[in-house]
Amino acid sequence: MFQRAEIGRIFGIPIYLDMFFVLVLILFTHPYFTKNDVALMSAGIVIIIGLMLSILLHELGHAMMGRLFGAEVSHIELTGIGGVANFARSLPTSAWKRMAIFLAGPAVNLVLWLGFEELAGMAAVGDLPFLALALGVLATANLFLMVFNMLPAFPLDGGQTLDAFLSLFVGPQWATRVVGVIGLLIAVAIAVFSLYTVNLWMVLLAFILFMASSEALKGVGGWRGRG
């Protein structure tokens, strides 16, 4: 079982770092530290710091938007599968406010993607290849985080947003059923893709999406409902 430690507070919100998060960062960046190349090692350090900040800022986006609508975040966790903003109380009943809260995180990644792309270009022009490499990797990582989080599956931001939007037209239970079924299909698609690419990380993501979608469907009596 991985332990976590509080690494500080931002806007009064405790930030916890899961040791599994550190392990994932090491696995992701280890090629930069095994070539005995100072420039690559420097790029690796920049990437580690940038990834931590990107995920943290994503969760702070949720937290600040939630605070705007009276939904305070009790704490933020940086875990091996990303970040989690834990709300201290229920989210607003308004679907539009919930959608704004869910979309705030990916919006942060959009800004970071564009910002890192611009900085990478500036570093390349300034003849700083190691920095251009690191910033380019961070730009790509934020693009991935934005796209992945917008997939219409639980527990991702895209799934939560679609759930809130559909609830305006078909009610909360049927909205959850629709998103739950879509989430199961996406999980299966990711699992099949991971078999072709032999990507264990994708297998883990598929498992998480499958379990979250299954639990959501179970909470509303299955995809057809009770009775």
95-124 pLDDT, tens digit per residue, is 999 999 999 999 999 999 999 999 999 999
Domain ranges of the chain: 1-150, 152-227
Q: In the structure encoding, which two tokens stand for residue 203, read together?
A: 């297998």
pLDDT at position 76 over 80: yes
150 class by beta-carbon count within 10 Å (0-12 exposed, 13-18 middle, 19+ buried): buried
Closest of 115, 133, 122, 132 to residue 53, by C-alpha: 115
- Bridge partners (DSSP) listed for residue 82: 79
Q: In the structure encoding, which two tokens stand for residue 17, read together?
A: 């770092």
Average pLDDT, the chain: 90
192-214 pLDDT, tens digit per residue, is 998 888 787 888 889 999 999 99
pLDDT at position 90 over 90: no
DSSP state letter for 29: H
Based on the residue annotation, tell me whether 59 is a catalytic residue of this protein.
Answer: yes
Q: Are 145 and 111 in contact (CB under 8 A)?
A: no
- Bridge partners (DSSP) listed for residue 16: 6, 77
Q: Which of 6, 59, 72, 118 is catalytic?
A: 59
1-52 pLDDT, tens digit per residue, is 457 788 899 999 999 998 888 888 888 888 888 878 888 888 889 999 999 9
pLDDT at position 227 over 50: no
